[in-house]
A and B are shown apart, each in its own frame.
Chain A
Amino acid sequence: MDKDKKSVLEARKISKVYGKKANRFVALKDIDLKIERGESVAIIGKSGSGKTTLMHILALLDSPTTGEMVVGGEKSTKLKKAKLGRLRNREFGFVFQQFFMNPNDSVLNNVMLPLKIAGISAREQKRRAMEALKAVELEEKAKNKANDLSGGQKQRVCIARALVNNPKVIFADEPTGNLDSQTGDKVEKLLSKLNKEQGITLVVVTHDEDLARRCNRQIYLKDGQIIRDERKKKTGGAR
């Protein structure tokens, strides 16, 4: 299909500058990047190299100082705030290093949050949240308080939350950063399974070599610039 060839996200000559004058700091410099549908992309680099900044811009959470983002053929600067919100809500899923859950709320409620924001009916919210929990093998924890889960379980709940709205792209910022290697491994497998089996495009920020290797594309950042962009020969996305 024609649409498949189109990139999901495209960054055109993106720069990000923080601060002014003496405090001026260039976090990203002239980034050109196309992310194709079904790809799994690892963004790798030292601390402070601009990985998180880049991911936020790709996910339309932040706007670049110069350059532009193109999403589904449309320039993001042309989109209204409400439309951007809807786009993030319907097409993107997010996983963060520090989980970001409501610790006192139930697991189920946490997973339902994107669906609540989307304004979906209560029954459908529950059905889809349970489905997502099943995908991360945590359906029996649905009623538990989110705070009572282990770190690995928490991150799996976050993955369930990220995929509950059937997104096109999942953004994950150091999803294994707070986990030991064994639980981290489980999360990594889960993410790459979503990519391979459901064709969800994956953008992962990491400095975990294992996780990076599982992806079929590695982008190396250094001081805000792409220094290497490698693709494996065979793209892994099924469809």
Chain B
Amino acid sequence: MKFFDVLKMANANLLRNKVRAGLTILAIFVGSFTIILNSGINYGVNRYVDSQLEAAGGEGYLEIMKMESMSDMIQMGGMGSGGPTEYDPDGGSGVQPITEDDLQIIRETPGIIAESVRVFRMVNVEYIQSLENDKRFNLSISQWPSDTLNVAMASGRMVDNNSEEFQIVLAPEFAEALGYTEESVVGETVVLAVALLPATRPVQVKRVEATVVGVQQQSMVGMGRSFVNEALNDALYDASLSALPEELRPDTNFFAMAEYDTSMSEEEVQAMRDRLSEHGLQAMSIRDQVGMMMTFFDAITIVLMIFGGIALLAASIGIVNTLFMAVQERTREIGLMKAMGLSSGKIFLMFSTEAILLGFWGSVVGIGLAFVARGVGNHLAAQTFLSGLPGFTLIEFNPTMLVVITLVIMAIAFVAGTAPARRAAKQDPIDALRYE
């Protein structure tokens, strides 16, 4: 018997009991849909993150924190599982401020470009205001970390850390808020106000004027912040502390920034990181930071995939049941075909094919509805929580992935079908022909 005829017959046999086949396919669909949609979301998110990482650049750029291990940071976030740790007045656990000695160690670490090493001072700006009107807006700023990073600009250019001029690149939407367009705001002067320490009510501020050199586009690296150059950041930092006596000034330098020689081999980079780590200095690239986020995301995906897998397992029991019933019903037909010389192998193949077809259709229906869900889901997402992130399609399908999932489901169906198919293959034609 030709395989095409086997396929045709298996398909016709399925169609013979449409309701039963349909319900089995439905059961498979529940599993396949869950898995396909999940993999679609995972792929969509990963692709977006990858594209953003690609665009962000940051090769050879490191952010360095002082702590015993990465897990300290998770503990800092309140997610530690080790329970309460005893207080130590000299510190020693958690994140420590970066000292001048630490900076020296970083500079002396082989591979690090010494002149790129600097502390990253965090400054809270109270508001931003244009010189033209009285409207004040909340603003979060950050020193432009490194020219190895890329941020797409809507207009103008990025701030220059080597310039003495006070420069700022605005986050998107601030141009209009301040009464300009993205183009016209470039070159204008704005006022940044920092709160004086110690904090008072009402807040006492010190105003610093800065020149807008550009407006950035929405991006993951930007995260809604505006970027200032080092000169402006230092000026704002100093301004906020200007009312405090020297000895009361807090140590708030929790980050250092550094660049390393990108021509180093992977082993050399690892050695460099290990050396920093020996001194309690944990270096993270942009990729590391995103990677930590993605680990959580991947874990959730895996859990949902397991649910899909359980649904598939239940569905395969349905396949076994469906096929046993079919074998029972077709006892005579099997006997007849065997009497006419069809081999046991082909009978096995015919029922296996039926099982595989069930798996195939279950997965095709899953894919079909997953595409519908993609359309609806992406539309809703774009209008709600992803509205600020153009280019982020939540659900994306990887064709290879779809093929692999389909093949895996077909394989599961085949395995489920082996028991009924074997029973059919072993049937004695005589018994079948005498069967009433």
Contacts and interface: CB of A to CB of B under 8 A. Distances in A.
Contacts, number: 59
B135 interface: no
A170 B14 CA distance: 32
Which 4 A-B pairs give the minimum distances between C-beta atoms?
A: A89-B341, A85-B341, A88-B341, A117-B342
Interface of A: 52, 56, 59, 61-62, 81-82, 84-90, 94, 96, 100, 102, 104-105, 113-114, 116-119, 122
Contact of B340 (A82, A102, A105, A113): A113
Nearest to A94: B339
A118 B343 CA distance: 10
A102 B331 CA distance: 12
B402 interface: no
A89 B340 contact: yes
Given A94-B340, A113-B340, A117-B337, 12 more contacts: A52-B434, A59-B339, A81-B343, A84-B341, A89-B342, A94-B336, A94-B339, A100-B333, A100-B336, A113-B337, A114-B340, A122-B4
Contact of B333 (A62, A86, A87, A102): A102
Given A104-B16, A116-B5, A117-B1, A88 B336 contact: no
A85 B343 contact: yes
A88 B339 contact: yes
B244 interface: no
Contact of B342 (A52, A59, A85, A102): A85
Contacts of A89: 340-342
Nearest to A100: B336
B429 interface: yes
Contacts of B332: 100
B337 A56 contact: no
Interface string B328-361: 0000110011111111101000000000000000
Contact of B12 (A52, A61, A105): A105
A85 B425 CA distance: 14
Given A116-B1, A117-B1, A119-B1, A87 B341 contact: yes
Contacts of B430: 56, 61-62
Nearest to B16: A104
